[in-house]
Amino acid sequence: MKYQSTRNNTISVDSANAIKNGISPEGGLYVPCEIPSISAETIDKLSKLSYKERAAEILGMYLTDYTADELKFCADNAYHASKFGGENTAPLCSLEEGLNILELWHGPTCAFKDMALQILPYLLKKAIEKTGEDNQVVILVATSGDTGKAALEGFKDVEGTCIQVFYPVDGVSKIQKLQMTTQSGKNVSVCAVKGNFDDAQTGVKKIFTNNEYKEELNSRGYTFSSANSINWGRLAPQIVYYISAYCDLLKEGKIKNGDKINIVVPTGNFGNILAAYYAKVMGLPVNKLICASNQNNVLTDFINTGVYDRNRKFFTTVSPSMDILISSNLERLLHHISGRNDALVSSYMKELSENGKYVVNEEIRKAISDIFVAGCCDDCDTAKTISKYFDKYSYVADTHTAVALNVYEKYVEESGDSTPTVIASTANPFKFNKAVISAIEPALNLDDKDEFELLDILAEKGNIEIPVQLSELKSKEVRFTAVCDKDLMIKETDSFLV
Ligand SMILES: *Cc1c(COP(=O)(O)O)cnc(C)c1O
């Protein structure tokens, strides 16, 4: 299968090149030229397999220039039981009939980003071999917290690669910051940026599209790639767990093959929910895709009105991984929904970068609202939702998952829809411990507590176990303390690439 660019249909590369390049040279994103389909029979067959096997099968439909053995190798290593706390890589937790939480955070960094970032380095390493790349591949990452750590953990000491991560100086939780600044590995570098996530992301995009600088680096033996969700190698592995969740529901007798499900996704950059969209287009029986946002509700407004307008106040919320005003992967949705109208997508993206705003035509708006439902909630409702689910089900949801639960509840109230539903749960609650404890025990004063005391308190109050990956941060040395201006990110990168 070939990959074209959202902004130029005549571009055609195989998946190894799409994964190695990360982003298309003219700034567009790689999309598959056709979307493979899965039948009820295939779903039946997949439901009898392990997660690793499902991953190798499904990835094989998209990454057709990889052999079945190569993909098996990648999936077996990435989703090894030692990394995901057992064979059940993405377990479903059923709270009540029809309400299923898909826990995507059992990996090494306790966030759903591990689902893709554990396998991406394997896919990229193979891509380097396949394309005969001699240069060292430099992974540049802008992170709102979770991607950075997951990418560092995935790429540390991977031969032929090195990784530079930028995070917004005040835009990540203390645990997230510690996770990144204590990262081990010879080929890693971490720097805080004075600005918010969008500033960091824009800075990385600028370096990526700076052809002069790229040529210079090329002569020094370096090639850029991306581990952000703009990379197709991030998206493809995310399609797997939606299909896998359906298979698990089937296996447990909770649905019959062919029954539709709803999928609710707490959304930031639109990568996770876009993967669910691909699963739906492939033929997975999906009724509605429900896009949940926090107070940075640019996507809620877009899906409900067709107007994308990033010119608004930016809020720092208790769900920082969704504090985003430019959702990069929306570009891929526009490409597919518009019938691969590259000129139209280019014009919308040009308007977005020049004016921070675009308005899609009526046809596109309608097509999107046929598939997607959108809603948002603020920090106060997020806290109430955490508290409610803890009281009702003894289930501790993290702040991002709580946004999804809240938006889903409002949707059910308005629509009366009783379709069985899968809620994507994107982080272990310990990663956002302070906000979660405040929600379930509002009377506690946490002001004088350090991160590790907070872990203990949440373990006790929530009756859940602290993941070792987080408790062991206490004894790790902080290696990275650099902070840079958003305009100096290129300089920071350059000094790492000596
Ligand atoms: C990254 C992230 C999200 C948002 O996912 P997108 O693919 O960017 O929409 C939501 N929750 C958590 C915990 C995350 O780390």
- Ligand 1 binding pocket includes 111 (Cβ within 6 Å): yes
Q: Residue 226: what pLDDT?
A: 84
Average confidence (pLDDT) over 396-417: 98
Quick one: which atom of ligand 1 is closest to the CA of 272?
7
**Ligand 1 pocket check for 429: Cβ under 6 Å:** no
Compute the distance between CA of residue 375 and CA of residue 391 in angstroms, rounded to an integer.
Answer: 24
Centroid of ligand 1 to alpha carbon of 166 (angstroms): 16
The rounded Å distance from CA 348 to ligand 1 centre is 24
Question: Could you identify the residue written with the tokens 């303390």?
Answer: 481
Please tell me the predicted confidence (pLDDT) of residue 252. Answer: 96
Express as a percent the part of the chain with pLDDT over 70. 100
CA 227, CA 20: separation in Å to the nearest integer? Answer: 10
More confident: 306 or 211: 306
- 170 pLDDT higher than 90: no
101 lines ligand 1 (CB under 6 A): no
Ramachandran class of 132: left when φ > 0, alpha when ψ lies in -120 to 50, beta otherwise: left
Q: What is the pLDDT of residues 469-496, one digit of tens each?
A: 999 999 999 999 999 999 999 999 999 9
Mutate to test the pocket of ligand 1, among 109, 238, 323, 400 (most ligand atoms within 8 A of CB): 400
476 is a catalytic site residue? no
Best of 241, 264, 269 for a ligand 1 pocket test (most atoms within 8 Å of beta carbon): 269
Q: Which helix (H) or strand (E) holds 44?
A: helix 40-47
Residues 218-241: what's their mean pLDDT? 93
Gap between the Cα atoms of 455 and 458, Å rounded: 5
Task: Give me 156's structure tokens.
Answer: 């540390």
Q: Specify the residue with its C-alpha closest to ligand 1, atom 2.
A: 321
- Where does residue 219 rank: exposed (0-12), middle (13-18), buried (19+ CB within 10 A)? exposed
* Residue 424 CA, ligand 1 centroid: distance in Å: 10
Q: Is 299 in the pocket of ligand 1 (CB under 6 A)?
A: no
CB-based burial label for 230 (10 Å; 0-12, 13-18, 19+) = buried
Name the pTM for this structure: 0.94
Q: For residue 212, count other CB atoms closer than 10 A to its CB.
A: 7
Q: Across all residues in the chain, what is the average pLDDT? A: 95
d(CA 458, CA 110) in angstroms, rounded, equals 15
**Distance, CA 93 to ligand 1 centroid (Å)?**
19
User: Measured in Å, how far apart are the chain's first and last C-alpha atoms?
Assistant: 37
CA distance 216 to 362: 45
- Residue 201 in this model has a pLDDT that exceeds 90: no
Can you give the pLDDT at residue 61? Answer: 98
pLDDT over 90, % of the chain: 90
Residue identified by tokens 């929530």 is: 462
Residue 498 or 194, more confident: 194
CB of 181 sitting under 6 A from ligand 1: no
Q: Residue 194 is encoded by which pair of tokens? A: 């004075």
Segment 48-52 shows an average pLDDT of 98
Q: Which of 113, 280, 288, 486 is catalytic?
A: 113
Average pLDDT (90-110) is 97
The band of 198, judged by pLDDT with boundaries at 50, 70 and 90, is confident
- Ligand 1 atom with the smallest distance to the CA of 431 is 13
**171, pLDDT greater than 90:** no
Residue 78: the pLDDT is 96
Q: State pLDDT tens for residues 250-292.
A: 999 999 999 999 999 999 999 999 999 999 999 999 999 999 9
Determine if ligand 1 sits within 6 Å of the CB of residue 146. yes
Residue 173 has pLDDT above 90, yes or no: no
Cα 161 from Cα 369, distance rounded (Å): 41
Q: 467 falls in which pLDDT band (50, 70, 90)?
A: very high
Crossing angle (nearest 10°) for helices 271-282 and 330-337: 30
Q: What pLDDT, on a 0 to 100 scale, did the predictor assign at position 229?
A: 83
The torsion angles phi and psi of 215, rounded to 5 degrees, stand at -65, -40
Q: How many Cα atoms are found within 13 Å in the side-chain-facing hemisphere of 32?
A: 21
**Cα distances (angstroms) measured from residue 443 to each of 5, 92, 227, 446, 484:** 52, 32, 41, 9, 38
pLDDT bracket for residue 498 (50, 70, 90): confident
CA dihedral 170, 171, 177, 183 (to 10 degrees): -120
Q: Is a pLDDT exceeding 90 seen at residue 368?
A: yes
Residues 67-73 have a mean pLDDT of 98
